Amino acid sequence: MRFLIFLLFAAAVVNTDGFPARVLTLERVFPANKTVELQVLIARDRVRHARILQRFSGGIVDFNVVGTSDPYYGGLYFTKVKLGSPPKEFNVQIDTGSDILWVTCSSCSDCPQSSGFGIELNFFDAGSSSTASAVSCSDSICSSIVQTADASCSEDKQCGYEFHYGDGSGTSGHYVTDLLYFDTIVGPSMIANSSAAITFGCSTYQMGSLTKPDKAIDGIFGFGQHGLSVMSQLSSRGITPKVFSHCLKGDGTGGGKLVLGEILDPTMVYSPLVPSQPHYNLDLQSIAVNGQMLPIDPAVFATSDNKGTIVDTGTTLTYLVEEAFEPFVNAITGAVSQSTTPVIVKETQCYLVKSIITGIFPEVSLNFAGGASMILKPENYLVPGDPIDGGVPWCIGFQKVQNGVSILGDLVLKDKIFVYDLSKKRIGWTDYDCSNDVNVSITTSKDEFRNAGELNESSSSRTTCVLLALLLHVISVTLGYSL
């Protein structure tokens, strides 16, 4: 499921040979104790995956997903972006599987006027922004993105776009250049308003589920690797480093941290990104349960045009190829059959548990290229259901897919620091309590640790001053609605 994330930047000014760490504060739309139907989450993921797969196969490919309608304690994360002059806030979804930031235009037709997410919808009006300018077909920016099929030229010579999703929904509009605002820390207890011109989409037409008030949002923030992504635009001008990080809190009221910069931790492990891929692909090589390798042919994980393993914060559950899914479920069942009651609930393998799951369910290890392992606790592969006679059912949160693409969603990514280091072409992770402060690197020449929550000037003898990055704690919101 695509995380709903609204972007608000805060950062640190650094010395002349470094970069600032831009900080995004995450808020959770759905609290952890809010019951959401598992089938709804799966359907939402299916739409998201069709978007991912169209780049693999040249068309829109739907996932064959198995799931249940049992309650699921789910969460979505959001942040805000400020655009235009004077600046206006927009609530946008974060999407690591696409690249373009787009928001709804004031001239959009068939667009919802209210949102079931409990937020006020805003519309971008280029005519009301003194710094907005349309991107013409002759603009070099348009020429570059036309090559990716993310742009087209209209009769009025505006550079346009059109995106389609797997459920038949979609959006079209034109590109605009305007100011993106973010907060920059310039000294102890001093925050300056900063801005940079970026190119983004202005949606003039929406269809399908995008028009439904219960799912309405102001736009989508593409966090991919394409040159027109906000990350690429800012890093190409030296405004931010070519790296971003997140730490998503999985329990309680949720929340987390999202940083345009590098979160550092001495226990971080890294695996190289598979080259020449449009998404964040890693080379998954094996899976172990209780330290025992599962009988899975590594070839089923190999990356090709329509195969591989994607790390995607926009997907709620985790999806395994069929050849890996069956051995995984069998291994979990075998490990807990003496201490739980295995049951099938609406075609999903579940286990009735009369106590806490800690100490009952085995540790799982996803092993990647470079010797990097991702250790999964039971909460990273199980989802709870409503209590029934005999105990609480804990169900396998992984879903089986038959199209060759495994997707690691927030079920396994939560409660971990994740670093997307695009300059070194790698992804790193480590277990972490995301309610705690984190350390951020504020230079590109070497790692310098700064504790989030502190703001001190460096005592370095260099003529230029290095200021500490301040990471904002997540503001968790509790909204009384369901997906």
CA angle, 450 then 29 then 244, to 5°: 35
> How many angstroms separate the CA atoms of 361 and 379, rounded?
9
- Nearest partner of 123 among 29, 2, 217, judged by Cα: 217
- Nearest partner of 300 among 413, 402, 408, 410, judged by Cα: 402
Q: How far is CA 380 from the centre of its chain?
A: 16
Q: Return all residues near 171 (Cβ < 8 A) that are at least 6 apart.
A: 102, 162, 163, 201, 203, 205, 206, 207, 210
- In sequence order, what are the beta bridge partners of 319? 399, 407
Q: How far is CA 408 from the centre of its chain?
A: 11
> How many angstroms separate the CA atoms of 98 and 210, rounded?
16
Cβ burial of 405 (10 Å; 0-12, 13-18, 19+) is: buried
Helices H, strands E: what count in the chain? 5, 33
> How many angstroms separate the CA atoms of 87 and 85, rounded?
5
DSSP H helices, 379-481, are: 410-413
> How many angstroms separate the CA atoms of 301 and 284, rounded?
6
| Cβ proximity of 93 and 219 under 8 Å | yes
> How many angstroms separate the CA atoms of 383 and 399, rounded?
12
> How many angstroms separate the CA atoms of 52 and 468, rounded?
37
In the DSSP assignment, the letter for residue 388 is B
| Cβ proximity of 293 and 226 under 8 Å | no
Indicate which residues carry an active-site annotation: 95, 312
Residue with tokens 């001190």, as numbered in its chain: 456
User: For the residues of 170-232, what is the DSSP string, one character each?
Assistant: EEEEEEEEEEEEEEEEEETTEEEEEEEEEEEEEEEEEEGGGG-GGG--SEEEE-SSSTTSHHH
Helix, strand, coil percentages for the chain (3-state, nearest 5): 15, 40, 45
> How many angstroms separate the CA atoms of 7 and 240, rounded?
15
Distances (CA, A) of 197 to 82, 226, 233, 380: 12, 17, 9, 39
Distances (CA, A) of 256 to 45, 259, 276, 434: 21, 10, 30, 6
